[in-house]
Every structure is written in C-alpha cells, then in structure tokens.
Structure 1
Amino acid sequence: MKESDQVLFELRFYEISAGQGDRMIKRFKTVSAPLFERYGGEVVGAWTSAESDRIFAFMLRFDDSSSRDEIWEKYHNDPLFIEARAEQKQIIESGTSTLLRAVEL
C-alpha cells in the first residue's frame, strides 16, 4: 500500500489568547467539528492542556492524503467557516500541526 493511500491522523495544537479558552471550545463545537464531519473528516478528540489554559488541541482522522486535501478545501470554502474567520483571528495566536500514521504494535 502506498503511503498516500494510508489513513492519516492530523494533530493540531493552538496557542489561544489569554482568557479565550471557553470561546475556543465553543467555536470548535459549533463551527469546526460540524464542518469536518459534514465533509467526511472524523474528529478523534479535542483537548485542553493540563499545564496551560492557553493550549487547545484536536486530532482528525482522514482516509488518505487526498481525502484530507479535499476535506480541508471544502472546510475553508464553507460559508460558516468564512463567517467565523474574523472571530478565529481574535481567539487563536498561533498554531502547529503534524500528520501521523499509525504503527502496528
């Protein structure tokens, strides 16, 4: 099986503005998670840091790299995301992500 055909997990970390944790969680529940699910992405989970109230993380599962690209494109072009983009800029200071593949144990 080619690597591009393997299931991918995307782990995303965000540093959020001070005092914006509840707002970030609400936005994720009402905008991000529904959009990912609408377009075929699976939200594996979402977390806040036990060490900092300014860290929010979530993980997505994609069937393969091409489905990831398609889902993200649809997500970014959805009117709900476009409408919420200004709010996102007030909440999120920075973000990082990494793509992961499962290993057999």
Structure 2
Amino acid sequence: MDRRDLLKVMGAMATITMLKGTAMSEVTSETVYELRIYHLNEGKLPLILNRFRTKEVAIFKRLGMEEVGYWTPTDEPLANRTLIYMLKHKSRAAATESWAKFKVDPEWVALKAETEKDGTFVIKNESTFMKLTDFSPKV
C-alpha cells in the first residue's frame, strides 16, 4: 500500500467515525486507535469477511477491543485482496493485553484452525497505533 492509498483510507475512516458519533469526552489522553491492514491470499476476502461478520468481531468485543469500522478498498491493486479496519483501545497497554489474550483465546484458536484449514487468509498484516490530535473531529 502506498502513501496515497493510506491517505485515502484514513480520510474515509475519519468520515465514517464522525458519523458513528462517539463523544470526545469518551476519549482520554491514553486512548489509542489501531489501524490494521490485512493483505490477503487470492480468493480469501469473502472468507475473512464472513469470519469477522459471524464470530471474530464478537471475540474482539469480549476482549475489550472496540470496533471503529471495517473497510475494503474499491481500487486496484488493493481491491478484492485487502481488509482494513480500525479498533479503539483504552490505552496502548490495554491493546497489548487484549491482543495477548486474543492470540491464545480458545474460541479464536479453534475458529482460525477451522476457517483456515484449506489455507491461510493473510499474507501480511500491518498495524499502526494512532492518537487523536487536539483539533480532530469527534470520533
């Protein structure tokens, strides 16, 4: 993903999150947002979307990972092979703790094994942690 693609995605995310309407008062100086980009093996986008839709998002919620939004690019070269999403965490430490729990969560481990028995979904994933600026719109 080049810089222009990332900027387009971040602009779309800002618009979506503004529409979501979470009050700024819920955002503390510790709050972090995590941008995750999954580059997928050919043909795996529908499968990973189904996994997120049906079970994975519920695991995130159970572990304290608040979803902000999920996107799929419409332009090549990312279309049909990329999943982009953003999570909100109470702090960077909370994010680290949640991901540590996620990786060993029995429900997640079983779900991943079941859904990827015919091949892994993700070739490469990227994660970027971000903090809101003082002039940012409500997220």
Instruction: Please give the TM-score of this superposition, normalised by the length of structure 2.
Output: 0.67
Q: Does residue 14 of structure 1 match 2:41?
A: no
Tell which has more relative contact order, 1 or 2 (C-alpha 8 A, sep 6+). 1
74-83 or 88-97: which moved more?
A: 88-97
Q: Partner of 1:56: helix, strand, or coil?
A: strand
> Which residue, 44, 48, 60 being the options, matches 2:72?
48
Instruction: Name the counterpart of 1:93.
Output: 123
Aligned Cα root-mean-square deviation (Å): 1.6
Q: Which runs of 5+ in 1 are unaligned?
A: none
Q: Could you say which structure has the larger radius of gyration? A: 2
Deviates more, 1:29-38 or 1:92-101: 29-38
Unaligned runs of 5+ in 2: 1-28
SS in 2 for 1:23: helix
Task: Percent identity, please.
Answer: 28
**CA apart distance, 1:32:** 2.4
Which of the residues 13, 16, 34 maps onto 2:58?
A: 34
Q: Aligned residue pairs: how many? A: 101
Match of 1:24 among 34, 43, 48: 48
Task: Could you list the structure 1 runs, at least 4 aligned residues long, displaced by more than 6 angstroms after superposition.
Answer: none
1:16 touches 1:54 (CA, 8 Å); kept in 2? yes
State the Cα distance separating 1:27 from its structure 2 match.
1.1
Query: What SS is found at the alignment partner of 2:133?
Result: coil
| Structure ranking higher in strand proportion | 1
Contact 1:13/1:96 (CA < 8 Å) preserved in 2? yes
Matched, 1:60 2:87: yes
Aligned residue for 1:90, secondary structure, equals coil
* Separation in 1, partners of 2:106, 2:55: 11
Instruction: Report if aligned partners of 1:31, 1:80 keep a CA contact under 8 Å in 2.
Output: no
After superposition, the C-alpha distances for 1:50-87 in whole angstroms (9 at most, x for unaligned) are: 11111111100000112111211111111111113331
